[in-house]
Amino acid sequence: ASIGLIFTFLLFPFIALAIKLDSKGPIFFVQKRVGKNGRYFNLYKFRSMYVDAEDRKKELMEKNEMSGPMFKVEHDPRITRIGAFLRKTSLDELPQFYNILIGNMSLVGTRPPTVDEFSQYALYYRRRLSIKPGLTGLWQVSGRSDIKDFKEVVRLDLEYIDNWSLTSDIRILLMTIWVVVMKKGAS
């Protein structure tokens, strides 16, 4: 996490300037997420959407391409121009190294759900919260935005939990680098 934060601090002036020149609003996006054992925490990202994105989400709900409690819209109109680049390159995720450093997240784990998503969870889905959420995980390297079925996300997360090993974490980290560099499944 410390090495990741150093990298984040080196890129921060350039990313911050680009965000500020592209749209009004803060540099960081802070969102309440649900972590291990249902504990709430603030997740940090570089802002990639307009400041009214959460309000506009209600208007887009009928266009949701994901089954289940997750929300995903291809060509989301709430994403800024620089935000599209940040997401494509996964640079928007860099501030999460702070979440890792303070212990809310780990490098590899399950995807941390939003509070809204969590409120819609069936009991079976809550097993995803038995470990710390991760900056990356099996779901992210198995298709990222290409996966449209929440049950598939859950299946991959539970497969990760059931088969966890240090070797699998190293493999997922290496696969993450490949996926990010090749921009596979990014949106």
pLDDT digits (tens, 9 = 90+) for 32-65: 999 999 999 999 999 999 999 988 998 898 899 9
pLDDT under 70 in the chain at which residues? 144-145, 184-187
For residues 27 and 46, the answer to whether their CB atoms sit within 8 Å is: yes
- Name residue, tokens 């860099």: 94
For the segment 76-86, what is each residue's pLDDT rounded down to a tens digit?
Answer: 999 999 999 99
- Write out the two tokens for 134: 């991760």
Residue 108 pLDDT: 97
CA distance to 66, 115, 146, 186, per residue, from 181 (Å): 25, 30, 16, 10
Residues 65 and 148: beta-carbon distance below 8 Å: yes
The whole-number pLDDT of residue 23 equals 96
| Contact predicate 37/130, CB 8 Å | yes
**pLDDT for the residue 187:** 55
pTM: 0.90
